[in-house]
A and B are shown apart, each in its own frame.
Chain A
Amino acid sequence: MATASNMLLYDKVVRVTHVYLGPAADRFIARQVQNHLHKSPQELSQSDLLKLIDWIRVGVSLITDDSEIIEEYASQLLKLARAPGKS
């Protein structure tokens, strides 16, 4: 069941992703969550983040060869994963 804090985490991931994927960010993250974590975007939890970041890394490497930007993007997401408890 979706809660306000879970929604917030999803929104935070989308916000970070927006810097890299612009208007496609929301759709991209929703697809990663649904296809690889087999959850609805609203159900995304802190414990899913590391796995999600791995899948995002794989997905983005199919879009670009620029490993520097991929790492920068992943490190921005990792900051969210390391953030304490409620996100």
Chain B
Amino acid sequence: MKRTNSALKSYTWLTGLFFLLIILLPANHLTMQQYKLSAAQYHTLLFLVELPLVAVWFAAFYGYAKLEQYAAAISDTPEGPAFKQLAIGCKWLAWGLPVPSLLALLLGAIANNHAGFYSATVIIGNYVGLLFPLVAFSFISESGRELIQRAKLNFTAATAKNIQFVFVVLGVIYCYLIFRHLDLHSIGASNNQYFLPVWLLVISLIIPYLYAWFIGLLAAYDITLIARQTKGIFYQQALRLLAGGLALVIATLIAVQYIRSVLPRSGHLSVSATFILVYLIYAATAAGFILMAAGAKRLKKIEEV
């Protein structure tokens, strides 16, 4: 219960700060001109646009809090350490939703008054956007591997080939979509939407993103496999909920990161088809976190009765 309170307290603080920044930070001139808005209308629009995201954050914080509770309940058991790592990974995923948004608001406000800072806003936003999934998927992947080894499971050669094929296709399309924005005549040119030289973009963003997604997708598969193969009718039902939710969270967050890195951040509010698509994907992320929470609650119940 303490863990839920702590997570929800963090959520309340983050949300409060976020809404405060929305109200207090100066309106973006470009957006105001584009949509012919007054400053008050701009703040209201921004508030309404961000409201669904804040609901997704709630689902995320609630989901990781429930998983933390379950991990704490089984801390002394053989599976305990693996679930603890899983909970830490999910915590990073949850915090990876509000922190980049808060930072984007702050940096966007600075860039609004100091045009020269715009490139720094985009660069910092991209790296912060990468950091959270990279750390989160590393923890989740470790946890998945540990659980797989404990259960003495492994995937077949055919499954491994399928995973590799899906990943190669996703990776190649991703590189193609990114390279379309770049001036490939010079490897050092940084006149692109990422404001980075091509070589640095490849080393510090493209490769880490592909790595993070690969281990993220593998972790999702590992955990789904464990849920399918594990013994115990009631235990399996609960674990399937948790694993299904987690797989949905990982897949949707990867989809959002994919879209966001292929279409770099503009630094201002822009209501477009991509924007709506990202919101729809985020709705699925929230559903994933709720499923995860339901699974963790049922697993914890098994440990309590």
A22 to chain B, nearest CB (A): 2
Interface string of B68-91 (1 = CB under 8 A from A): 000000000111000000000000
| Binding-face segment, B10-18, B229-237, B259-267 | B229-237
Say whether chain A's binding surface is mostly helix, strand, loop, or mixed: helix
- CA of A62 to CA of B305, assembled, Å: 7
Which residue of A23, A59, A62 contacts B235 across the interface (Cβ within 8 Å)? A23
Shortest Cβ distance from A62 into B: residue: B305
Chain B interface size, as a band, is 10 to 19
A20 contacts across to B, CB distance below 8 A = 232-235
- CA of A28 to CA of B234, assembled, Å: 12
Question: Which A1-49 residues have C-beta < 8 A from chain B?
Answer: 18-25, 27-28, 31
B239 contacts across to A, CB distance below 8 A = 22
> Would you call A21 and B234 a contact (CB within 8 A)?
yes
B82 to chain A, nearest CB (A): 11
- CA of A25 to CA of B235, assembled, Å: 9
Shortest Cβ distance from B151 into A: residue: A23
- CA of A64 to CA of B305, assembled, Å: 12
Shortest Cβ distance from B302 into A: residue: A24
Shortest Cβ distance from A22 into B: residue: B232
> Would you call A63 and B232 a contact (CB within 8 A)?
no
> Would you call B231 and A63 a contact (CB within 8 A)?
no
B301 contacts across to A, CB distance below 8 A = 62-63
> Would you call A23 and B79 a contact (CB within 8 A)?
yes
> Would you call B302 and A28 a contact (CB within 8 A)?
yes
> Would you call B233 and A23 a contact (CB within 8 A)?
no
> Would you call B305 and A59 a contact (CB within 8 A)?
yes
Q: Cβ of A60 < 8 Å from any Cβ of B?
A: yes
A83 to chain B, nearest CB (A): 23
Q: Cβ of A78 < 8 Å from any Cβ of B?
A: no
Interface string of A56-86 (1 = CB under 8 A from B): 0001101110000100000000000000000
A25 to chain B, nearest CB (A): 7
B225 to chain A, nearest CB (A): 15
Question: Which B142-172 residues have C-beta < 8 A from chain A?
Answer: none
Which residue of B77, B232, B237, B303 contacts A19 across the interface (Cβ within 8 Å)? B232
A-B contact pairs, 21 of them (CB 8 A): A18-B231, A19-B231, A20-B232, A21-B232, A21-B302, A22-B231, A22-B234, A22-B235, A22-B239, A23-B79, A23-B230, A23-B235, A24-B299, A24-B302, A28-B303, A28-B305, A62-B301, A63-B234, A63-B302, A63-B305, A64-B234
Q: A19-B231, A23-B232, A27-B303 are in contact. List 20 more A-B contacts (CB 8 A).
A: A18-B231, A18-B232, A20-B232, A20-B233, A20-B234, A21-B235, A22-B230, A22-B231, A22-B234, A22-B235, A22-B239, A23-B77, A23-B235, A24-B235, A24-B299, A28-B303, A60-B305, A62-B301, A62-B305, A69-B234
By Cβ-Cβ distance, the 8 closest A-B pairs, closest first, are: A22-B232, A22-B235, A59-B305, A22-B231, A21-B232, A62-B305, A24-B302, A20-B233
A residues whose Cβ falls under 8 Å from a Cβ of B = 18-25, 27-28, 31, 59-60, 62-64, 69
